[in-house]
Structure 1
Amino acid sequence: MSDIIQLLPDHVANQIAAGEVVQRPASVIKELIENAVDSGATSIQIIVKDAGRSLIQVIDNGSGMSVTDVRMAFERHATSKIRTTEDIYNIHTKGFRGEALASIAAVAQVETKTKKDEDEIGTQLVIEGGEVRNQDPIVCAVGTSISVKNLFYNVPARRNFLKSNQVEFRHIQDEFQRVAMAHENISFFLHHNDAEIYHLKAGNLKQRIAQIFGKKLNTQIISVEEDTEIVKVKGFVGKPDAAKKSRGEQFFFVNDRYIRSGYLHNAIVDAFESLLPTGYTPSYFLYLEIDPSKIDINIHPTKTEIKFEDEALIFTILRAAVKHALGQFNITPSLDFEQDPNWAFIPSAKEDTEIKMPEITVDSSFNPFEHQQARAPKPSDIKANLDFYNDAVELEIENNHAHQLFESDDFQDTFEVIQWMNQYLVVEYRGELLIIDQHRAHQKILFEKFIHSNNGNALVQQMLFPIELELSPNDRQKLINVEQQLMSFGFDISLEEEVIQINAIPVDVQQEDVVAVFMDFIEELEYQEELELDNTFAKILAKNAAVKKGMALKAEQMQTLVEELLKLPNPNYTPYGRPVFVQMNTSDIKKTLQ
């Protein structure tokens, strides 16, 4: 029987290894930028086309490579970062495994131009699918330029699994931000399809955060700084009132390397205990400096996971550092230990006020057992009972699941509607009592209207004075990516320098609701891979444009609202799945009153 076990060819082994290292275009961006940082560059430029499918080019002014080094750089497990096993536990650079370039070259067409400062000419190396095509001398600037073209051209299955350009470029932006935030002393430039997305100048950490996430963040973050023998913590955390429902502005860096850690995230959440509404997450940009021998980063090829020698201690120090920062800036309640407790609560009086002894009067004729007439209720008692009743009704509407009330062709066209507490519409319909949440009813009506009118024929109102939104480059790009969908709903937006200008809005949206609508748009676009944009935008528009609870309605408005609701095929639930009304028949009322 012949032998069946064989050694894989290098190009096959590299393609297999590329499956872990090169998962998508953003993976290539990360590896190339980190190599540029390790080369000592002070300026790094990234050029991307078609979200990395056609071209990814990274240009730096670092140390460059010699003729031999540039060829060795694309060999498997060839690296300048470590020499022995012990070096793995004393890592001060981004890369050290020697896998990235070989993996990238195995699944793309790669052209490298590089030159060292002491050399008169540079070197050009072309590799396609892991095979060297040519290596020639070339005149070029000091540093390195690596162009990755047609990623996954020889692995069609991998290329077919890539998401839309919008999604892939969002991942590229994420990787770009993580490296740029770890190295505020380096200038970074990012271009996509010949458009400049980021132009980050070298500066301090706070300036870099503002460059990426917008200047408004400057007033929403506070400084964190703690220096211990175990770990040094520095950075910024967001104020509680700037917290968001979505996650996206949470960053941990260990020795200038971005990491993910749900355990450390919980330390931050614990520090904000009782300061945040349920479901909200604080922003944070925290940098930990720790002895490299106390951590292990050789967990995964992406190097975003890390193990600490004493993770519980890091957790405690991090939580204490954030708590201290919040207390220092009077974000959390504090006790004044300098105040003399003996004098803390003594009331003061005017100098010319005569101090009198307190007098006590007693009704000697009072008999507690004597029958008294019922006391008339005070206004405060009435209000308290009414508030309790209102809360009970609200709970009833929240928890009752209304069934289908009638068939679409069974409609009563005459009924009387009254508004209760400026929140609910009460109507008798075919022998049943309906209590309708006016906000949810209008939300349902508008949702159906927006869904059926988003074909580019939506009625719009031009803004006499356009609304301007100052957003981060990332958020601006998100809106530009969905400009066509926004236009179909009646929005007209344009990019003016660093702001998004809103020139027209749908007729059913009030001007004062526009900012909230766009903030919700951006939040929904944050981390969702694929969105049903039409459905999502219609839900957001309906939620923000619907009449609010507490708004008094005219009789004609109430009548129209109920009529339009009851004519819908399924009026029972809002687009978010919440009940619109609760219904009661005679037997329900009799049972309640028994």
Structure 2
Amino acid sequence: MSSIIQLLPDHVANQIAAGEVVQRPASVVKELLENAVDAQATDIKLIVKDAGKTLVQVIDNGIGMSVTDARLCFERHATSKIRQAEDLFALHTKGFRGEALASIAAIAHVEMKTRQEQEELGTHIVIEGSKFVAQEPAVLPKGTSFAIKNLFFNIPARRNFLKSDHVEFRHVLDEFQRVAMAHPGIHFTLIHNGSETFNLPSSNYRQRIVNIFAGKTNEKLVPVAEETDILSIQGFVGKPEFAKKNKGEQFFFVNDRFIRSSYLHHAIMSAYEGLLRDGMQPSYFLYLQVPAHSIDINIHPTKTEIKFDDEQALYAILRSAVKHSLGQFNVAPVLDFERDPNLDTPYEYQTKSAEYPTIEVDRSYNPFADEVPTRREPTRTASAGSYSNHFSKPAAAPSWESLYVGLKQDTEAVDFSALEMEAEDEIAPSLFNSQETETSTQKTYQLQRKYIVSPIKSGLMLIDQNRAHQRVLYEQYLTNMTVQQAASQQLLFPLQVSFNPVELHVLHELQDGLQTVGFTFDRWENDGVVISGIPMHTNESMIRQLMEEIVHAFQEGLSDSFSQNDTLAKSMARSLAVKNGAFLTDKEMEALVNNLFACKDPNVSPFQKPTFITLSVDEIDKKFTL
């Protein structure tokens, strides 16, 4: 019997490895940027076209590669970072497995240009699907340039699984921001489709954060610093009043490497205990330095999760450091229950002397006297003269007979027998009849401020008020976008909302759709937008949160979204729909029920969740059956 186990060809093995290393264009961006950082570059430029699907190019001024290294770097498990297994626990670089370039070259067209500083000529290599097409010397600047074109050109199935350009570019931005924030001393530039998105000069941690997120980021940062034997913490946390609903501004860096850790995130949330509203997330940008031998970074393919030797100690130190910073900068309220506020001296009384009170004593008062004594004059002292008027004899009261002068003494003029009294049984039925008629017209009730109960012929209907309102608003916004433009209510004072450059880029693309639902933009600025009109029946206080949720929805990508208008309508419906826990009047409940069943698809919400359920009389009867 012949053998059935065979070695895979190199190009097939590389394509399989590429499925683990390269999941989307952002994976290529991450690998190339980290290689440029490891090459000791001080200026890194990232050029992206079509969210990386057409082109991802990284240009750096690092140390470059020789001719041999340029050819060898595309081989699997070829790396300059480690020599033996023990080196895995003493890593100070980014990449180390030597699979990135080999995997990228297997699924894309790669063009590399590199030159070392001491060499006169550099090397130009072209690879297509793991096949070397050309290699020749060339006149090049110092450093390395990687151009990755037509990603997944030989794996159409993988290319079809890529999301829209909005979503893919969001992932590219995430990777770019993480590397740029971890290395503020390097000048980073990002160009997307020919326009410059970021130009981050060399700076410190705080300036780099402000340059990336713009807006009012600088005024909301609270510094955090702590030095211990096992952990060194530097960075910033956000003030509680600037907390958001999304987690877009939460970053942990361990030894200059971005990581995710739900355990450390819980330490931050516990430090903010009592300072945040429900569902709000604080911002934090924390840089942790730990001994290299105390962590293992090789437990996840993308190296965004690491394992600590002593997580409990890190948890306690991090929580204490953040809580101390919030209290030190008067962000967290401090209550001293042992201090008596009545003992505090007012500022205007600090220079005044104390005034001693005078005591008045009635020496003639005898509590054991049998008879009530007559009123006497109080004993006069030097300071009691002013009180003599209070104890003077009151004036005599007028005679009581004078109060009744002029009143008739006889009551015979009033004939009570001529009065007719209404019978009580004639009034009561009319009151109860009107109340019964009034309650019989009420067909809807609110249960726990969450569900609307409505009786129907076959039994009972329970309507989720939040999901029902989402469906109503969703179809209303879609109609405004496709059929007719919605009315807009103008603001007396225009509202300015701050956004970073990435969020402004998303808003520019959504401008037409937002205007059809009622938004009016006065002007666009470098760090935000000025809004002069908002949709009808929208509270002005909700606009900031609404705009942030819309931008976040497009950056993350809502599920089951088929177009930009559909995503926008879903995001606005979810943000503006009446929330569970809100009280509704009878008219509001009735209008919501009528509008729901006037929709094209009243059965489900825009996110395909049921809006109501029905209980038949038979099902209710079964509940009472013993």
TM-score range, shorter chain: 0.7 to 0.9
1:398 counterpart (449, 452, 467): 449
Contact 2:167/2:555 (<8 A) preserved = no
- TM-superposition CA deviations, 1:468-519 (whole Å, max 9, x none): 4331122112323434533443446575444335576545657665444312
Give the CA deviation at 1:304: 0.9
1:486 counterpart (484, 505, 514): 514
Equivalent-residue separation in structure 2 for 1:190 and 1:128 (angstroms): 25
Contact 2:26/2:175 (<8 A) preserved = yes
Which letter does structure 2 place at the counterpart of 1:458? Q
- TM-superposition CA deviations, 1:56-94 (whole Å, max 9, x none): 000111111111111111111111111122211111111
Counterparts of 1:1-150 in structure 2 under 5 Å? Answer: 1-150=1-150
Are positions 1:449 and 2:476 aligned together? yes
Equivalent-residue separation in structure 1 for 2:589 and 2:157 (angstroms): 58
Give the CA deviation at 1:342: 8.6
Counterparts of 1:412-423 in structure 2 under 5 Å? Answer: none
Q: Partner of 2:549 in structure 1?
A: 520
Pair 1:404–1:355, CA change in 2 (3 A): farther
Q: Partner of 1:471 in structure 2?
A: 499
Pair 1:440–1:522, CA change in 2 (3 A): same
Pair 1:574–1:68, CA change in 2 (3 A): closer
User: Any stretches of 5+ residues in structure 2 without a counterpart?
Assistant: 361-366, 368-443, 613-626
SS in 2 for 1:402: strand
Give the CA deviation at 1:451: 3.1
1:354 counterpart (332, 354, 357): 357
Q: Partner of 1:282 in structure 2?
A: 282
Equivalent-residue separation in structure 2 for 1:199 and 1:271 (angstroms): 34
Q: TM-score, normalised by structure 2?
A: 0.73
Contact 2:105/2:129 (<8 A) preserved = yes
Pair 1:172–1:259, CA change in 2 (3 A): same
Q: Structure 1 stretch 100-109 or stretch 304-313: which is displaced more? A: 304-313
Counterparts of 1:187-266 in structure 2 under 5 Å? Answer: 187-266=187-266
Pair 1:470–1:281, CA change in 2 (3 A): closer
Q: Partner of 2:528 in structure 1?
A: 499
Contact 2:468/2:596 (<8 A) preserved = no
Give the CA deviation at 1:141: 0.9
Give the CA deviation at 1:275: 1.8
Which letter does structure 2 place at the counterpart of 1:499? G
SS in 1 for 2:282: coil
Give the CA deviation at 1:8: 1.6
Give the CA deviation at 1:559: 13
Q: Partner of 1:319 in structure 2?
A: 319
Contact 1:398/1:578 (<8 A) preserved = no
Pair 1:292–1:536, CA change in 2 (3 A): same
Which letter does structure 2 place at the counterpart of 1:234? Q
Contact 2:520/2:531 (<8 A) preserved = yes
Query: Identity rate of aligned residues, in percent?
Result: 50
Equivalent-residue separation in structure 1 for 2:190 and 2:591 (angstroms): 50
Equivalent-residue separation in structure 1 for 2:36 and 2:280 (angstroms): 37
Q: How many residues align?
A: 520
Pair 1:462–1:116, CA change in 2 (3 A): farther
SS in 2 for 1:216: coil
Equivalent-residue separation in structure 2 for 1:73 and 1:439 (angstroms): 56
Give the CA deviation at 1:561: 6.4
Pair 1:444–1:135, CA change in 2 (3 A): closer
Which letter does structure 2 place at the counterpart of 1:111? E
- TM-superposition CA deviations, 1:303-356 (whole Å, max 9, x none): 11111111111111111111111121122233669xxx6977547697336277
Pair 1:252–1:150, CA change in 2 (3 A): same
Counterparts of 1:357-376 in structure 2 under 5 Å? Answer: none
- TM-superposition CA deviations, 1:224-274 (whole Å, max 9, x none): 110000010111111112222211111111000001111111111111122
SS in 2 for 1:266: helix
Pair 1:59–1:281, CA change in 2 (3 A): same
Equivalent-residue separation in structure 1 for 2:457 and 2:474 (angstroms): 21
SS in 2 for 1:196: strand
Give the CA deviation at 1:41: 0.8
- TM-superposition CA deviations, 1:110-150 (whole Å, max 9, x none): 00011111111111011111111111111111111100001
SS in 2 for 1:403: strand
Equivalent-residue separation in structure 1 for 2:334 and 2:283 (angstroms): 22
SS in 2 for 1:398: coil
Q: Partner of 1:416 in structure 2?
A: none
Contact 1:456/1:489 (<8 A) preserved = no
Pair 1:2–1:233, CA change in 2 (3 A): same
Equivalent-residue separation in structure 1 for 2:525 and 2:106 (angstroms): 42
Q: TM-score, normalised by structure 1?
A: 0.76
Which letter does structure 2 place at the counterpart of 1:319? R
Give the CA deviation at 1:4: 2.5
Structure (1 or 2) with the larger CA radius of gyration: 2
Which letter does structure 2 place at the counterpart of 1:486? L
SS in 1 for 2:485: coil
Contact 2:451/2:464 (<8 A) preserved = no
RMSD, aligned CA: 4.2
SS in 2 for 1:12: helix
Contact 2:468/2:611 (<8 A) preserved = no
Pair 1:353–1:394, CA change in 2 (3 A): farther
- TM-superposition CA deviations, 1:20-50 (whole Å, max 9, x none): 1101100000000000011111111111111
